[in-house]
Amino acid sequence: MAPVGPKDGLVNTILSDTGMLQVDQTGRSPDSAWRAAMKAIDNALDR
């Protein structure tokens, strides 16, 4: 099992909402959704 960190829930939510849901609900390409999710995660983690 992967380790769970203090921001694991935040990362999970962003991957679901910005990544998978946009592909499923809006037809966004998987590559575009992945890039958007990674950018949102970087922003949320102040990277």
Q: Do the domain assignments include residue 37?
A: yes
Give the pLDDT of residue 12.
93
Give the pLDDT of residue 20.
93
Averaged over successive runs of 10 residues, the pLDDT of the chain (47 residues) comes to: 85 92 92 95 90
Q: Do the domain assignments include residue 38?
A: yes
Contact status, residue 22 vs residue 39, Cβ threshold 8 Å: no
Q: Do the domain assignments include residue 28?
A: yes
Give the pLDDT of residue 16.
93
Give the pLDDT of residue 3.
76
CA 47/CA 31 separation, integer angstroms: 21
Q: Do the domain assignments include residue 2?
A: no
Q: Residue 23's domain spans which residues?
A: 8-44
- Total number of domains in the chain: 1
Contact status, residue 43 vs residue 21, Cβ threshold 8 Å: no
Burial class (CB in 10 A: 0-12, 13-18, 19+), 20: middle
Give the pLDDT of residue 47.
75
Give the pLDDT of residue 15.
93
